[in-house]
């Protein structure tokens, strides 16, 4: 536990964080050959002379990978360079058959982007994106799972040559929470563009975190440590928390932070040194002579930009103004593109979109989560949701009744209208009974009666609602409407 002294020290330092994120693109084939990218294929089945790096095999760039990378870049507010260059990053490792990785170096595909995040205090901050470039993935070393794993490491080259984008941020984040928020927003944007599934378990999103500390008020950056291969956003936050604490302690005890690469052990909650700066690779980058300059001209960029979907931030703003929902609701409802699409389809069909937003969040999402279902697996369809919202809106059913009907819908795996038809309360079709209720409602609401008689015909909805409520949802709505029109008109 942090002592009072260390908490004190903490406030005198500021953390500086920059993130490097690798995202696997959802192309059907690899970046420089026609091999499939499918995850989970038997080892070394998705391979060919190009991705095996056999002598004489030449790379041919996958146009779709470029389009996807440019789409992500534009969604992240980057400037896409009309000309960029593929470079060889040279290093020796068993999972890298060519002895170099084709990447981009001093002329990347895209630069100068940004992501807006909200800080713990609720304010908005802009985090700069230095660059976004295209590269190929390496293969995978398999250290366990074989009878002779104690003697050998196996190599699966299915992943070698799978297209990646690397997104490098500016050192703009100031706390582990901001790094977490940046990653959340980044993932959300990438998911909206549809260029990756960002599945961290399958390695289609990977993050290296760079972190340093400096005395508050100092502008020069402190010496950074890179924490590699942390496989969840939560662990990245924890690794950063640990690392910031560790670096402050080093400085407080009069030492210097060593520039190095460290690994995070989630079990122990600690980072430990993997290699120092002295052991760092010299990659001897140079332009790949087998690949011409990559050209993404203005016309192609325009085409890609035009096809961009409504991105989360813009979509939230539009939803707030279009449906009158709160900023908070908009955040929840845009957390995935599928959810936002579903919400909007229901909101557009319903009389009161705000009620749809409320019901979706308070009644539907929780029930789905409890059963581990995605929104598109919901027994209650969006049409059902909007119908139920309208019934509550008109007073035909109470909120309590709606909850019961939703429970039944989930129990029986039936959509809302079907359950409602089976379970709806016995209807009152006796005009005399309904008329009595109408008289009471009319007597109790002289102002609305006046409005109606002055020509504001829409007030009829209010009266229908009141009568439905008075009848506990049991009056026949058609009859209520008909009788109301007659009585109010007279």
Work out what residue 59 binds among ligand ADP, Zn ion, none; the CB cut-off runs from 5 to 8 Å by kind: none
Report the nearest approach of ligand ADP to the CB of residue 473 (Å).
Answer: 58
| Dist CA 382 CA 347 (whole Å) | 9
Handedness of CA 302, 306, 312, 318 (dihedral sign): positive
Report the nearest approach of ligand ADP to the CB of residue 108 (Å).
Answer: 12
- Any contact of residue 33 with Zn ion (CB under 5 A)? yes
**How many residues sit close enough to Zn ion to count as binding (CB under 5 A)?**
5
| Dist CA 77 CA 354 (whole Å) | 31
Work out what residue 101 binds among ligand ADP, Zn ion, none; the CB cut-off runs from 5 to 8 Å by kind: none
- Any contact of residue 108 with ligand ADP (CB under 6 A)? no
- Any contact of residue 212 with ligand ADP (CB under 6 A)? yes
Tell me which H or E stretch contains 348.
helix 337-349
Q: What angle do CA 351, 432, 464 make, to 5 degrees?
A: 10
Query: How far is the CA of 137 from the CAs of 63, 140, 157, 227, in angstroms?
Result: 17, 9, 10, 19
Report the nearest approach of ligand ADP to the CB of residue 260 (Å).
Answer: 11
| Dist CA 269 CA 15 (whole Å) | 19
Q: Which is nearer to Zn ion, 33 or 183 (CB)?
A: 33
Q: Which one of 109, 115, 168, 356 is in contact with ligand ADP (CB under 6 A)? A: 168
- Any contact of residue 31 with Zn ion (CB under 5 A)? no
**How many residues are recorded in the chain?**
490
Work out what residue 251 binds among ligand ADP, Zn ion, none; the CB cut-off runs from 5 to 8 Å by kind: none
Q: Which stretch binds ligand ADP (CB under 6 A): 15-23, 63-71, 286-294, 319-327?
A: 15-23
Work out what residue 18 binds among Zn ion, ligand ADP, none; the CB cut-off runs from 5 to 8 Å by kind: ligand ADP
Q: Which is nearer to ligand ADP, 182 or 343 (CB)?
A: 182
- Any contact of residue 390 with ligand ADP (CB under 6 A)? no
Decide if 16 contacts 213 (C-beta within 8 A).
yes
| Dist CA 466 CA 484 (whole Å) | 11
Q: Can you read off the two tokens belonging to residue 396?
A: 């035909």
Q: Which one of 17, 19, 25, 35 is in contact with Zn ion (CB under 5 A)? A: 35
- Any contact of residue 138 with ligand ADP (CB under 6 A)? no
| Dist CA 430 CA 476 (whole Å) | 9
Q: Can you read off the two tokens belonging to residue 440?
A: 């009471």
Query: Which residues, 6 or more positions from 238, have their beta carbon under 8 angstroms from its beta carbon?
Result: 176, 264, 266, 269
- Any contact of residue 170 with ligand ADP (CB under 6 A)? yes
Report the nearest approach of ligand ADP to the CB of residue 237 (Å).
Answer: 16
- Any contact of residue 48 with Zn ion (CB under 5 A)? yes
Tell me how crowded residue 451 is: count the other CB atoms within 10 A of its CB: 15
Distance of CA 162 to the CA centre of its chain: 22
In sequence order, what DSSP letters do the residues of 65-97 get, joined into one string? HHHHHHHHHHHTTPEEPSEE-EEEEE---TT-T
Report the nearest approach of Zn ion to the CB of residue 257 (Å).
Answer: 42
Point out the residue whose Cβ comes nearest to ligand ADP: 18
Decide if 449 contacts 442 (C-beta within 8 A).
yes
- Any contact of residue 211 with ligand ADP (CB under 6 A)? yes
- Any contact of residue 394 with ligand ADP (CB under 6 A)? no
Query: How far is the CA of 335 from the CAs of 184, 189, 201, 321, in angstroms?
Result: 10, 10, 20, 18
- Any contact of residue 37 with ligand ADP (CB under 6 A)? no
- Any contact of residue 65 with Zn ion (CB under 5 A)? no
Q: Which residues inside 223-262 make contact with ligand ADP, applying CB under 6 A? A: 224
Residues that bind ligand ADP in the complex, under the rule CB under 6 A: 16-20, 168-171, 210-212, 221-222, 224
Residues that bind Zn ion in the complex, under the rule CB under 5 A: 33, 35, 48, 50-51
């Amino acid at each position: 536990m942090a002592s009072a002294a260390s908490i004190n020290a903490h406030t005198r330092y500021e953390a500086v964080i920059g993130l490097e994120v690798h995202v696997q693109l959802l192309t059907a084939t690899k970046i420089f050959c026609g091999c499939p990218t499918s995850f989970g294929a038997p080892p070394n089945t998705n391979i060919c002379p190009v991705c095996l790096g056999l002598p004489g095999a030449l790379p041919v760039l996958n146009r779709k990978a470029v389009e996807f990378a440019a789409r992500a870049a534009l969604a992240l507010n980057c400037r896409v360079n009309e000309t960029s260059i593929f470079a060889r990053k040279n290093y020796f490792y068993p999972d890298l058959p060519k002895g170099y990785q084709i990447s981009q170096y001093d002329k990347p595909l895209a630069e100068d982007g940004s992501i807006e995040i909200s800080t713990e205090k609720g304010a908005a901050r802009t985090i700069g994106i230095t660059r976004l470039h295209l590269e190929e993935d390496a293969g995978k070393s398999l250290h366990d799972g074989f009878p002779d794993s104690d003697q050998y490491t196996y190599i699966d080259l299915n992943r070698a040559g799978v297209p990646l984008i690397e997104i490098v941020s500016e050192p703009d984040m100031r706390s582990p929470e901001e790094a977490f928020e940046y990653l959340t927003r980044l993932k959300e944007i990438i998911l909206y563009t549809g260029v990756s599934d960002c599945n961290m378990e399958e390695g289609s999103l990977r993050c290296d975190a760079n972190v340093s500390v400096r005395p508050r008020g100092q502008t020069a950056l402190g010496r950074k440590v890179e924490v590699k291969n942390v496989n969840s956003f939560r662990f990245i936050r924890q690794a950063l928390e640990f690392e910031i604490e560790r670096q402050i302690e080093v400085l407080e005890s009069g030492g210097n932070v060593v520039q190095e690469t460290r690994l995070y052990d989630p079990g122990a909650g600690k980072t430990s040194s993997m290699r120092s700066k002295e052991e760092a690779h010299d990659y001897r980058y140079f332009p790949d002579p087998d690949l011409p300059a990559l050209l993404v001209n203005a016309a192609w960029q325009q085409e890609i930009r035009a096809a961009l979907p409504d991105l989360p931030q813009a979509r939230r703003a539009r939803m707030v103004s279009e449906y009158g929902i709160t900023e908070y609701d908009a955040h929840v409802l845009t957390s995935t593109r599928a959810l936002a699409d579903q919400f909007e389809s229901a909101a557009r069909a319903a009389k009161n979109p705000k009620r749809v937003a409320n019901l979706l969040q308070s009644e539907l999402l929780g029930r789905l989560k409890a059963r581990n279902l995605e929104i598109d697996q919901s027994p209650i369809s969006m049409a059902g949701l909007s119908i139920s919202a309208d019934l509550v809106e008109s007073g035909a059913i109470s909120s309590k009744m709606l909850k019961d009907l939703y429970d039944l819908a989930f129990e029986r795996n039936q959509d809302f209208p079907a359950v409602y038809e089976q379970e709806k309360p016995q209807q009152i079709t006796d005009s005399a009974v309904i008329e009595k209720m109408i008289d009471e409602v009319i007597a109790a609401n002289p102002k609305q009666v006046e409005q109606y008689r002055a020509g504001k015909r829409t007030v009829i909805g209010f009266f229908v609602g009141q009568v439905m409520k008075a009848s506990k949802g049991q009056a026949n709505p058609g009859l209520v409407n008909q009788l109301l029109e007659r009585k109010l008109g007279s």
